[in-house]
Amino acid sequence: MKKIIIVFLLITTSIFAESFYTLDKVKDLRMYMSLNADFLSVQQRKSIEDAAISKLKKAGFVFGKTDAAIFMVNVETVEVEESHAIYIQVGLGEEVLTPRSPKVYTFAFTYLANDFVDSDEPYTDTLESVNFLVSQFIESHKEDNE
């Protein structure tokens, strides 16, 4: 009987699970790119940034305002023989007030998602991964603001 209850709870919590990150009322963003990948040219770096910003703008986010949350894209890579191991992170950083006593203002990630890719086509796979992670962020934002 205990096993049935545990399985039921696991299934229902996964069905109705929401992210433990909060994206309520996030609208204004500022982009921060950290592309530690030697295989990316200046033009490719710019195209990744432009693609992410374009996708976010289409979803209703606004760029260029003062005190906006920081939308971060981080790409790190290691070349392994003929391929690349690529770690991609997308996050939202904001100034928050901690609940501890005394309360402290600090910078914290209020959203974080990542992807790991083993690639023979590093630019293409990095762009696809960033697009995927940005789409996840947009979907999480929609769910939090319904």
Domains identified in the chain and CATH numbers: 23-144 (3.30.160.100)
Distant-in-sequence, close-in-space partners of 30: CB < 8 Å, separation ≥ 6: 63, 64, 65, 68, 69, 70, 71
Contact (CB, 8 A) for 76 and 36: yes
The per-residue pLDDT for 80 is 83
> Predicted confidence band at 1 (pLDDT cuts at 50, 70, 90)?
low
Q: What is the pTM of this model?
A: 0.82
**Spatial separation of the C-alpha atoms in residues 124 and 5, rounded to whole Å:** 45
Instruction: Report whether pLDDT(118) > 70.
Output: yes
